[in-house]
Amino acid sequence: MRRILVLGARGYLGAPVAARLAAEPDVTVLYGGRGGPREGARGAQGARGGRRMPDLGVDIGSVPVDVLAAALAGLRPDAVVNCAGLASGPASALAAVNARGAAALCEAVAAGVPAARLVQLGSAGEYGPGVPGTPLRESAPARPAGVYGATKLAGTLAVAGSGLDAVVLRVFNPVGAGAPLSGLPGRLAAAFRAAPPGAPVRTGDLGAYRDFVDVADVADAVALAVAAPGPLPPVLNIGSGEPTLVRDLAGRLAGIAGFTGRIEESGTGSERSAAVSWTAADISLAASALGWRPTRTLDDALRSLYEATAPTAGARV
């Protein structure tokens, strides 16, 4: 049995990654997080009810390297998948988890389980502005437009320079069940569900282009990266390979939700949307290195997102 540790296993990406790996017949998934019981944990034999404590209850943004290394040595994972990360918050918190956390994890893996493969989830935010019509390759310059992208890039550099058997999966814009309200698809789904009949939903500008990828396809890519014979390229893009106008995403999600009101745009939208108006991934390297290509459509991802969205108050996005 392969033992695979998933850090951030309760998160938006970590949960589907852990479930996907747990579905493999020869895998035991070890769950990592900041402690506390996790609902409905899944093991190698499938779903299990009840509550379960994490196998590794740490916050990689603050845990001492020697403590983490000792814990890893005790768990003896064959691979470590780092899904832990922050997408929003103060700069100090983003740096602690995305940059310091990735660097500390590399040092701990090297000390505790040096033969383990490390799979790190990166972000398209590391690239910064793209050139309209030109998909971003892994060799493109990294020019992050904000603190989030800069801290994720710092994590990528730590992994790439660690000397470990490691790969960074640079995930573009993931969409699916559990999407957080900090991202536009999650906020839109909640607003469409909560809006009274005929009431508008107000947003910022929706004129940017993004590369949206189903979280289930991201989980498939992780499973392939864990199992692929090495060495792997240091960075692999994980996206759909197609730019989508965010306004079109909003309209498609409205159709799935049965929302018939107006979507009213005002202002400039998010700071990142203003700074990065177009982005799309070149995913050919992931196809050749992993045999991976996305198999779900954007409508599949949006449907999963909406069906999993609990009713909530408020319609301003």
317/189 Cα distance (integer angstroms): 10
Residue ranges with strand state E in 103-257: 117-123, 165-171, 173-175, 201-203, 209-210, 212-214, 235-238, 244-245
Q: What are phi and psi of 301, to 5 degrees?
A: -65, -45
Task: Give the list of residues 6+ apart from residue 65 with CB closer than 8 angstroms, or none.
Answer: 104, 107, 108, 111
- Rg (C-alpha) for the chain, rounded Å, is 19
Question: Nearest to residue 247, comparing CAs of 276, 274, 210?
Answer: 210
3-state secondary structure of 49: coil
Active-site residues, by number, are: 148
